[in-house]
Chains A and B, each alone.
Chain A
């Protein structure tokens, strides 16, 4: 069980001893009471005026329907319950189709006809061989003026295939129309948080007369569809890559993958790539000096304060650990269950230069009782909600999923957020159990 391929059975390992990309072996899974990351309800409902319809058993339904309720979005959420007999007697497809038609008709009668429906069949549909083509054909024939999006809530497939999150992000671009692209327009797609106008990629595009569209700026379904008119599709967030690339290919658009990173060389290469794609010779000047100053300032401020980072805060936790460590700061622990292939370079650098850095699993069985007995620990800065929970610290950077930080501008903003976390306390117990950081919530 301790082989390099399977990872260690324990919940922590020094990076010098860790295997890549799987430092820990699989086992029973613990879920910490930390829920700021987005799920498929938060992601899908970014599409304005769309309605989600789920078809599943009660226990599976509970999490998504209450996510919508907490978002004050019950009116954009409907569902069909699958009963025991629906699964064992056959006819699941017909129950699903009839249920979806029925619930849409109920919505129409209530004056809530949707323009777009994101439909989520589940694991049992795969196992019982649902004929999805037939299902969508019937639905589209029944409601020709509604756009149906083929999403899934099928986590059983995610260990060897795409996650429901990735598949939803792919489905969300299915109805972008194949039409003449809008010249000098770029769309940043598949990212939950708006990429700031101060980021280098947005600056570069805008300085050269490009319009940059993002889903967070869309207020109507039509505005959302107009994202598909862009001449250039950019993906910046790994779970959005699959869908953005597929949409670009289908529509014949230019495509760039410029993931958010803390690697200065990588940022430079991304800007070169962007300039080349957009037809500019000169590389846009980056904020390298400003970042160095920000890191130096941060180091002076926080000194030897230990830092812990978790993989839900940003897709590149090891890259961030590397950046901070390389500038003299004391990163002691990174929480993750697996290492992204995009982090191999940072992993190897840390293995060589920070061999005592601890990698700590998030879902491991031992993590259930992890927080106990840490009351005496020294002041620790956590980056991410899960790190805050496990480190039991009020000093944390409250972000998830990259938070729209991009390029060196993003790294500079991260330095400011870490400084804020060092100086101010947050109510960890109150904040981290809340779902969907940044989304509307009835709990706030």
Chain B
């Protein structure tokens, strides 16, 4: 059965993804959930919780309130919190029980907005999806809230530098030490208007419609990029400036990465994995096969898996695997392994071993066990 797991964990869920996406923007995020979502999120999915305040709470939904449909308690509690903590906006997220009983979050958002005078929106989560869905929906909900009905502003580039937004940036995918600095350095030819949503304020995000181009660095930013292309006419490119791939990445007209097969397998967030695959090809002439274990995908992925069983079968003939260390029990005997720990998979288990793949020197060193053996052969 595809939904039974013997040994590997699951990726961060959609609710945590939504919370992570909105973390730095000064909003109040309310997860309508009995217990557990907040603790899970701040323990395993959020690197900022101890050192950086963010107004993320659960509702503490009880059996009686769920059965009797006591939405008024939720609304009252949100209004109290908004008055006490003065957020800039309010986001609502759902979990399995409110999903099951058909809680009207759009209606609740309207009532809350009316009572608090604060922009309020629902991020459609229900606890059954992975973080790419939750963070993706949160970014999209925010973009719609900020830019619905607007047209793109005329570019105001100075000294010929293109203006860009970086979409899909959360610590779930980008928490290696120095990685945000390396990303900025790689994009030094561009003026960065906003980063969705690490290192930018809500005010900066509100200026995103001034940009010429969106750079989508993880699949969590893809839906928003597509929406902005459709509604603001803003083009996007998909990829991370990993090693040699950085040289071609920023051209919207370049062909999408091709799907490749081979016995070097990369398992992980697809935008990063495909970018790494492209680097291996361009820098070393190595072909790698990308497996996407998540619910959102992108061009260049060989296969999307639906669980542990699927993945185990796909890894059967792998000679080398680049993946989070918690995938190791599924590796075939004798396969080489390059550990690529990922917050959204193993949480804080290997936080000390994160690799900043956007630093070319670190990248080269990290890939050496693979590149030295494979390029010699």
Chain A residues near B (Cβ < 8 Å): 9, 26-31, 33, 35, 56-63, 65-66, 69-70, 74-75, 78-84, 86-88, 95, 98-100, 102-103, 106-107, 110, 112, 122-124, 126-128, 153, 155-161, 363, 365-366, 368-369, 372, 429, 433, 435, 442-443
Contacts and interface: CB of A to CB of B under 8 A. Distances in A.
B53 A84 contact: no
Contact of B55 (A128, A159, A368): A368
B115 to A, nearest CB: 15
B5 A79 contact: yes
A79 B307 CA distance: 11
Report, nearest first, the 6 A-B pairs whose CB atoms are least far apart. Answer: A59-B13, A63-B40, A155-B35, A59-B127, A28-B57, A156-B34
A443 B50 CA distance: 16
A70 B348 contact: yes
Contacts of B34: 123, 155-156, 158-159
Contact of B85 (A62, A70, A368, A433): A368
Contacts of A61: 9-10, 13
Contact of B3 (A62, A99, A159): A99
Contacts, number: 216
11 contacts: A28-B60, A28-B77, A33-B50, A57-B96, A59-B16, A60-B37, A62-B12, A62-B45, A84-B99, A110-B6, A156-B34
A129 B14 CA distance: 25
Contacts of B7: 74-75, 78, 110
B151 interface: no
B84 interface: yes
B109 interface: no
User: Which of B3, B60, B126 is the most central at the interface, judged by chain A CB atoms within 10 Å of its CB?
Assistant: B3
Given A58-B11, A74-B9, A372-B53, A124 B60 contact: no
Given A59-B128, A159-B34, 11 more contacts: A28-B30, A29-B59, A33-B42, A57-B127, A75-B7, A78-B6, A82-B3, A99-B3, A102-B4, A127-B101, A366-B85
Contacts of A442: 349
Contact of B326 (A69, A127, A365): A69
A341 to B, nearest CB: 20
B102 to A, nearest CB: 10
B43 A156 contact: no
A28 B73 CA distance: 10
A28 B128 contact: no
B206 interface: no
Given A78-B6, A99-B4, A156 B66 contact: yes
A232 B84 CA distance: 52
B62 interface: yes
A87 B40 contact: no
B347 A157 contact: no
Contact of A369 (B42, B53, B95, B346): B53
Given A60-B36, A78-B6, A103-B6, A28 B1 contact: no
A365 B81 contact: yes
B130 interface: yes
Contacts of A9: 80
Nearest to B329: A74
A157 B347 CA distance: 28
B78 interface: yes
A27 B77 contact: yes
Contact of A124 (B8, B39, B42, B97): B97
Interface in B310-356: 326, 329, 346-349
B5 A159 contact: no
A87 B100 contact: yes
Nearest to B64: A160
Given A35-B43, A66-B347, A87-B99, A58 B57 contact: no
A271 B125 CA distance: 54
A58 B129 contact: yes
Contacts of B11: 58, 62
A270 B360 CA distance: 67
Nearest to A87: B100
Interface in B106-150: 125-130
B27 to A, nearest CB: 13
Contacts of A70: 347-349
B50 A429 contact: yes
B63 interface: yes
A124 B100 contact: yes
A58 B13 contact: yes
A84 B126 CA distance: 8
A366 B126 contact: no
Interface in B43-73: 43-45, 49-50, 53-55, 57-64, 66
B195 interface: no
Nearest to A106: B6
Contact of A63 (B14, B36, B53): B36
A162 B9 CA distance: 28
B38 interface: yes
A435 B43 contact: yes
A60 B96 contact: yes
Contacts of A66: 9, 40, 43-44, 346-347, 349
B306 to A, nearest CB: 10
Contact of A98 (B1, B13, B38, B307): B1
